[in-house]
Structure formats: C-alpha cells, structure tokens
Amino acid sequence: MADRQPSPTIGQCLDGGLGWLEVECNRCKARASLPLDAIRRPRDTPIWKLEASLKCRSCKKGRYAPPVHMIKLTEAREITPYLWGCIRTRSGEQSGRDGFCM
C-alpha cells in the first residue's frame, strides 16, 4: 500500500454535505445507499473502515462474506435503500432482512 491517500471520516463527509455512501457487493452486485448519520460509529471513523466492515447478507456464508466496495459518496440518496436497516444495529440486533450488515 504505497499510495496512502487520506481518507475522509464520517464527520468530514457529513460536514461536507455528503450524507450517503453507495456500496456494491463484489459478488452479487447488489447496491445500497447507506445513510452515514445512521451508522453507529464514531464520527472520526475513516470511510474505508466502513467499507471493510460491511457485509452483504445474501452472500454471507457462515463466517465468510465476500468483500463490499464503495462506489461513491453522494449528497442525496440515489438508489433505494432496500437494505440498510440492519446497519443501524450492532451485533445481536439485526433486522432479519436481506442487506448489508456491519
């Protein structure tokens, strides 16, 4: 990792008016827009850490889940958030719907 670009934090994105993170599952290509202000992480958490901890529930098999990558940060929701319910929760508090989880 020679190219270490500074990564914005959740707080910096929100301050800059970018409240939505669009992600895609590398395997099934499902996409979702996640509301950054609903993610229960410290505001100084870098965005890339969110990407690393997101998992697509439909592709998750036991402990393994294929990686998720972020598409872009947006000011408004651009696609249906069919799934972001469960990112509001921490372990043990999942919505039971398909989607992306942390």
Minimum CB distance to Zn ion, residue 98 (Å): 9
Smaller CB distance to Zn ion: residue 41 or 98?
A: 98
Q: What is the CA radius of gyration of the chain?
A: 13
Per-position b or e across 86-100, b if 16+ CB within 10 A of its CB? bbeeeeeeeeeebbb
Instruction: Please give the span between the terminal C-alpha atoms of the chain, in angstroms, as a whole number.
Output: 24
Which spans of this chain sit near Zn ion (rule: CB under 5 A)? 25, 27-28, 30, 56, 58-59
Minimum CB distance to Zn ion, residue 19 (Å): 24
Minimum CB distance to Zn ion, residue 100 (Å): 8
Smaller CB distance to Zn ion: residue 4 or 29?
A: 29
